[in-house]
Amino acid sequence: DIQMTQSPSTLSASVGDRVTITCRASQSIASWLAWYQQKPGKAPRLLIYKASSLQSGVPLRFSGSGSGTEFTLTISSLQPDDFATYYCQQYTGYSTFGQGTKVEIK
Amino acid sequence: QVQLQESGPGLVKPSETLSLTCTVSGDSISSYYWSWIRQSPGRGLEWIGYVYYSGTTNYNPSLKSRVTMSVDTSKNQFSLILTSVTAVDTAVYYCAAGAPGGSCSVCDNWFDPWGQGTLVTVSS
Kindly give the confidence (pLDDT) of every residue in chain B, 124 residues in length, as a single tens digit, with 9 standing for 90 and above. Answer: 999 999 999 999 999 999 999 999 999 999 999 999 999 999 999 999 999 999 999 999 999 999 999 999 999 999 999 999 999 999 999 999 999 888 887 788 999 999 999 999 999 9
**Nearest residue of A to residue B104, measured between CA atoms:** A93
**Nearest residue of A to residue B107, measured between CA atoms:** A93
Q: How many angstroms separate the Cα of B34 from the Cα of each of A77, B97, B111, B113? A: 35, 5, 9, 10
Residue B52's identity, in one-letter code, is Y
* Cα separation, A28 vs A32, whole angstroms: 9
* Cα separation, B81 vs B90, whole angstroms: 14
Query: A33, A54, A88, A91: best mutation site toward chain B, by most B Cβ within 10 Å?
Result: A91
Q: Is A94's CB within 8 Å of B116's CB?
A: no
Output the pLDDT for position B101.
Answer: 86
**Nearest residue of A to residue B42, measured between CA atoms:** A99
pLDDT in tens, A25-78: 999 999 999 999 999 999 999 999 999 999 999 999 999 999 999 999 999 999
Q: Is A89's CB within 8 Å of B114's CB?
A: no
Q: Is B110's CB within 8 Å of A49's CB?
A: yes
Judge whether A87 is closer than 8 Å to chain B, CB to CB.
yes
Output the pLDDT for position B104.
Answer: 80
Nearest to A96 among B47, B106, B111 (CB): B47
Output the pLDDT for position A7.
Answer: 98
Nearest to A93 among B46, B62, B108 (CB): B108
Output the pLDDT for position B88.
Answer: 97
Closest CA to B37 of B46, B28, B25, B50: B46
Query: B110, B116, B118, B119: best mutation site toward chain A, by most A Cβ within 10 Å?
Result: B110
Q: How many CA atoms lie within 13 A of B14 on its CB side?
A: 5
Cα dihedral B70→B91→B65→B105 (10° resolution) = 60
End-to-end CA distance of chain A: 36
Chain Cα centroid distance, residue B112: 13
Query: B1, B37, B95, B111: best mutation site toward chain A, by most A Cβ within 10 Å?
Result: B111
* Cα separation, B75 vs B22, whole angstroms: 10
Residue B87 DSSP SS3: helix
Q: Is A89's CB within 8 Å of B45's CB?
A: yes
Backbone angles phi, psi at A2, to 5 degrees: -85, 125
